[in-house]
């Protein structure tokens, strides 16, 4: 699977909301599905990779476009 199935616009939300919304979106998807996230919270560059590591998901990519951080996450096989 190369394209994200789901896109989340989390701009303007502060910690912990970006991670909580990412967790909820990923929980609804099958293993291997991808979610593209846009967030402006500076802590998201720490929180989202940490969430992926702890929950068994894969951080496919991370980019920055101005103040917006763009992440692509891939759902792991185990439930979180």
Catalytic site residues? 15
The H-or-E segment that residue 39 falls in is: strand 34-39
Count CA within 13 A, CB hemisphere, residue 35: 27
CA–CA dist 46, 55 (Å, integer): 14
Omega of the bond leading into 26 within 30 degrees of 0 (cis): no
């Amino acid at each position: 699977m190369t394209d994200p199935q789901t896109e989340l616009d989390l701009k303007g939300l502060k910690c912990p909301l970006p991670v909580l919304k990412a967790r909820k979106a990923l929980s609804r998807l099958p293993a291997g599905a991808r979610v593209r996230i846009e967030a402006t919270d500076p802590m998201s560059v720490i929180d989202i990779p940490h969430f992926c590591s702890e929950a068994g998901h894969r951080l496919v990519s991370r980019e920055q476009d101005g103040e917006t951080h763009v992440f692509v996450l891939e759902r792991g096989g185990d439930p979180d």
